Structure 1
């Protein structure tokens, strides 16, 4: 599967549970929507992913990726310490200057 560099980095840093490197995949003003909450900017995104990594220890296995212009959808199997694991989730991404400016995670 041919993933954009930033998406490959997102998956690799998630699988390493490296919250700091994960956050570097995002623009300064990025927005993340996950589990009914919205996180604005790198500071909130780093807090969100640190909490998620500590609580769920989730690992991602990409299954499919589709992209049109600056928007993409990554479908991945996510396994961790959460009810229903593993689960197939969709990651709706908007890219800007080779970084992620918006991410919405759905089940």
Structure 2
């Protein structure tokens, strides 16, 4: 009986979201849309050189363009496909090569 009273009392302090999804809506509205930058030819050549020197298991940091914003990711290079699908995978995130702006080891 006493446990039941404690459980009922605990319900009072559980956060209540009266408008379901409103937090997510506000978060999306705060997102700043950025246009994709065109890379210079020498920057593209440098990226290509770095991509060809990568091996599975390397710890890398990448900045890439994703859905109207630039995203930075750091982790282990899990997979690399430079020929067929032209993408790489850092941990569990697949990134198209054309979206990559910066690669650092």
TM-score normalised according to structure 2 size? 0.30
From the CA coordinates, give the structure whose radius of gyration is larger.
2
1 or 2, which has the higher strand percentage?
Answer: 1
Which fold has the larger relative contact order, with Cα–Cα distance below 8 Å and residues 6 or more apart in sequence?
1
Higher helix content, 1 or 2: 2
**TM-score with structure 1 setting the length:** 0.30
